[in-house]
Copies of this chain bind each other. A is one copy, B any other.
C-alpha cells in the first residue's frame, strides 16, 4: 500500500489477510498450501481460515464434534426439502446446495448465533457483578423483551430431549476437565436451561443449537460465525440429500405427490 497508483487502489479494494498468491505459490494465512495439505485436517483448516491460527488438538476435536452433530435433520427442514426439489429442476449440485443454504436465515439457521449472543449477554452480566443464576434470569428476560418469545437454543418442536445436545455437552465437560475450555459458557447455558424449565414448570432442554452454541462460545468464535459454522455443517446434509434425490430421479419435484393440488382459499376463507 505504498504506491498510490490506480492499479494499487483497485488491488487494495480487494485486500485480504487470508490468502497470498504468486505464480506457483499459495499461502493460506501465511502458510504455504503444500505444507498444509495432508498435514492438517479439514477441521483445522476451517479454524485456520476463520481464526488465522491453528487450534490445539482439544479445540479442534470440540469444533469437529459440533460440525459433525448438525449435518442433517431430515427433509422436513425447508433447506433440505428445497435442495432436493432444486436437484430435479435442471441446475447443478452447487445451485441445489446454494438453494438450501440460502434458507438458513435468522429463523432456520440463526438460533446458534442467537444462543451465543444470549450466553455472552448473561456472562457480561456476571462480569458486572450478577450471580450466575441471576444473570441467567436477567439475560432471558432481556432477550424476550427484545426478540420475542422464542428462546434460541432451548426446547424443540419435535424432540422432548434432543439426543445431540447431551452428547455434545458431555464432550464440553470433558474438554473443560482437560483445560481445553473454561466451561463458563457451558455453565451459564445450563443455568439458562434450569431457569427456563423452572419458569415453565416442565423441562425445556437444550437443543442442538444451544449445545453447538456452547461449543462455539467456549472456543471463542464470534456469534455470526456460529451461523457460518452451522452452514458448513448442514451443507453436508444438503449435498447428501440433493444427491440422493438426483439418484431417485424426478422432474420438478413439488412438495406433494403428483395428483395433489393445494387448497384454494375462496374469498371468505383467507
Contact = CB atoms under 8 A, between A and B. Distances in A.
Q: How many copies does the complex hold?
A: 4
Contacts of A255: 13-14, 75-76, 78, 81, 255-256
Contact of A254 (B76, B107, B150, B166): B76
Interface-central residue, A1, A28, A168, by most chain B CB under 10 Å: A28
A253 B78 contact: yes
Interface string A76-94: 1111011011101111111
A27 B226 CA distance: 24
Interface in A36-87: 36-38, 40-43, 45-46, 49-50, 61, 64-65, 67-69, 71-79, 81-82, 84-86
Contact of A103 (B28, B65, B86, B243): B86
A257 to B, nearest CB: 4
B82 A107 contact: no
A104 B89 contact: yes
A260 interface: yes
Contacts of A239: 49-50, 225, 228, 231-232
Nearest to A35: B167
Interface of A: 1, 5-21, 23-26, 28, 30, 32-34, 36-38, 40-43, 45-46, 49-50, 61, 64-65, 67-69, 71-79, 81-82, 84-86, 88-95, 97-99, 101-110, 150, 157-164, 166-168, 170-171, 224-225, 227-228, 231-232, 235-237, 239-244, 246, 248, 251-258, 260-267, 269-270
